[in-house]
Amino acid sequence: MLLAGIYSGGKDSTYALMKAMESGHTVACLVNVRSRNPWSYMFHTVNVEWVRLQAEAMGLPLLTKESPGEKERELDDLESLLALAKRRFGIEGVVSGAIASLYQKSRIDRICRGLELASIAPLWGVDPHQLLHSYLEREIVAIITQVSSLGLSEKWLGRILDHQALLELEELSRRYRLHPCGEGGEYETFVLWAPIFKKRLVIERARKVWGGDWGAYIIEAARLE
């Protein structure tokens, strides 16, 4: 099946693309909504401008659109992008990285039904602890770019998700009941390398923003090598 990937630049949407390809699907393009609302219910907002480099690293065209980020109405922007992908590339379905958020998955499913597209969520319902280890086993290199949860301090910003980080996240999950994969918005990631990349992303300059209970790692300059 020919698919469009809803792509945030993070570990979950990257792994979902990998799983879809391994199942025999072909990804024709990526779609990314750039929400101006930092608290968007649907979309990542930190560092989304660098998704273009990830798309280039994968050799895939990227369809993107800026959105005011109004709750529910921002879904219209996603729908228009997927409709464009259907017209331009002839896609038959959409792949997303939803794991446990019924809010996100139900809305993607609804949009797909309206556009007569299949909705594919290969990570849906998979144990999040298992997923975390799968990311490392499959050699996905991701850094944490935003935190908003008890237990996640400024020190996590820019940190690579390695085995030690995973052990700490699992402990924090038990202590503070945060979702191990950050599905509830506890943290966001940005992928620097994955097996579906032909080039690696290198961050040349970045800065941290910290507000006491929320923080972001802002990439200011990056390149492919």
Q: What is the pLDDT of residues 129-149, one digit of tens each?
A: 999 999 999 999 999 999 999
Residue-wise pLDDT tens digits, 37-46:
766 767 777 9
pLDDT at 116 > cutoff 90: yes
What is the Cα–Cα distance from 91 to 120, expressed in whole angstroms?
13
pLDDT of the residue at 71 = 74
Judge whether 5 and 54 are in contact, CB under 8 Å. Answer: no
Judge whether 60 and 31 are in contact, CB under 8 Å. Answer: no
DSSP string for 163-193:
HHHHHHHHHHHHHH---TT-TTSSEEEEEEE
Q: Specify the pTM.
A: 0.95
| CA distances for 80 relative to 32, 33, 70, angstroms | 11, 10, 15
pLDDT at 10 > cutoff 90: yes
Owner of token pair 């770019």:
145
Residue-wise pLDDT tens digits, 52-94:
999 999 999 999 998 876 777 789 999 999 999 999 999 999 9
Walk me through the domains of the chain, giving residue ranges and CATH numbers: 2-120 (3.40.50.620), 133-224 (3.90.1490.10)
* Tokens representing residue 128 in the block: 């999040």
What is the Cα–Cα distance from 191 to 168, expressed in whole angstroms?
20
- Could you tell me which of 222, 187, 188 has the C-alpha nearest to residue 204? 222
Judge whether 189 and 174 are in contact, CB under 8 Å. Answer: no
- Could you tell me which of 188, 212, 153 has the C-alpha nearest to residue 51? 188
What is the Cα–Cα distance from 13 to 84, expressed in whole angstroms?
20
pLDDT of the residue at 27 = 98
* Tokens representing residue 221 in the block: 């300059």
Phi first, then psi: give them for residue 210, nearest 5 degrees: -130, 130
